[in-house]
Structure 1
């Protein structure tokens, strides 16, 4: 059974974050880690810690991570966001 993108989104929304964005920010190491998870799961959940994210800049962080990993932002909720491989 193949999951549709909507099913993937709902599944990922309920899971724990795959990656945690810390105070070092978006580094090459973090981007390679994100890319490994995107290859495996196609849609992943990322949580940004308080030290790097505020309510006002979480969307910007999500977009920066998406641009660095050639993916797209599906949803931003608080300090957590979901990204998926761009098709």
Structure 2
């Protein structure tokens, strides 16, 4: 895997060349010398995004129906009376 860096001007002039370079690894596109975009093949993009689980998906707990949860009852009151005298 190789990383290629090109200017946005080069990208505009020869997009086919840049797409071919992306088959060998990510292509960083710069704007005024600063990285501004990254071009990846769809396969590389899917490898990156398919491995990450969304926090929303984790919190949704789709298999929560299978969990048996019976919290124990408290034998003592939650609050105790306080002597304010």
Does the TM-score normalized on the shorter chain lie above 0.5?
no
User: What TM-score do you get using the length of structure 2 for normalisation?
Assistant: 0.33
Q: Which has the higher contact order (CA 8 A, sep 6+)?
A: 1
The structure where strand makes up a greater share of residues is: 1
Instruction: Report which of the two structures shows the higher radius of gyration computed on alpha carbons.
Output: 2
